[in-house]
Chain A
Amino acid sequence: RKLVAAPNSSYRVMDKPTAYKDATTYNNFYEFGTDKSDPAQYAGAMKTSPWTVAVEGEIKKPLTLDLDALRKLAPLEERIYRLRCVEGWSMVIPWIGYSLSNLIRKVEPTGNAKYIEFTTLADRKQMPGVGSPVLEWPYVEGLRLDEANHPLALLTLGMYGEVLPNQNGAPVRVVVPWKYGFKSAKSIVRIRFTKDQPRTAWNISAPREYGFYANVNPEVDHPRWSQASERRIGEDGFFTRKRKTLMFNGYSDVASLYTGMDLKKFF
Chain B
Amino acid sequence: MTFMVNPTSKHIAAIKAALFLAALLPAVRLFLFALTDRLGANPIEFITRSSGDWTLYFLIFTLLVTPLRRLSKWNWLIKLRRMLGLFAFFYASLHFTTFLWFDHFFDIDEMIRDVVKRPFITVGFSAFLLLIPLAITSTNGMVRRLGGRRWQWLHRAIYVIAPLGILHFWWMKAGKHDFAQPILFGTIVALLLLSRVYWNLAQARVQKRAASPTPT
Residues of A within 8 A of B (CB): 21-22, 25-26, 34, 36-37, 89, 133-135, 205-206, 209-210, 222-226, 231, 233-234, 237-238, 241-242
Stretch from B80-88, B127-135, B174-182, B204-212 at the A interface:
B174-182
Q: What's the Cα separation between A33 and B179 when bound, in Å?
A: 14
Q: What's the Cα separation between A224 and B170 when bound, in Å?
A: 12
Q: What's the Cα separation between A21 and B101 when bound, in Å?
A: 26
Closest Cβ neighbor of A24 among chain B residues? B41
Q: Find out whether the CB atom of A133 lies under 8 angstroms from the CB atom of B177.
A: yes
Given the contacts A206-B175, A224-B171, A36 and B114 also touching, CB distance less than 8 Å: no
Q: Find out whether the CB atom of B40 lies under 8 angstroms from the CB atom of A26.
A: yes
Q: Find out whether the CB atom of A89 lies under 8 angstroms from the CB atom of B42.
A: yes
Q: Nearest 10 CB-CB pairs, A to B?
A: A26-B41, A22-B41, A241-B105, A134-B177, A209-B175, A233-B41, A206-B175, A224-B120, A34-B178, A134-B178
Interface size on B, as a range, is 20 to 34
Interface check B172, CB cutoff 8 A: yes
Q: A36-B40, A206-B176 are in contact. List 18 more A-B contacts (CB 8 A).
A: A21-B41, A34-B178, A36-B41, A89-B42, A89-B45, A133-B179, A206-B177, A210-B175, A222-B175, A224-B175, A225-B118, A231-B44, A237-B43, A238-B43, A238-B44, A241-B105, A242-B103, A242-B105
Chain B window 36-56, contacts with chain A (Cβ cutoff 8 Å), 1 for yes, 0 for no: 000011111100000000000
Chain B residues within 8 Å of A242, by CB = 103, 105
Q: What's the Cα separation between A224 and B171 when bound, in Å?
A: 9
Q: Find out whether the CB atom of A26 lies under 8 angstroms from the CB atom of B171.
A: no
Output the residue of B41, B101, B172, B178 with the most chain A CB within 10 A: B41
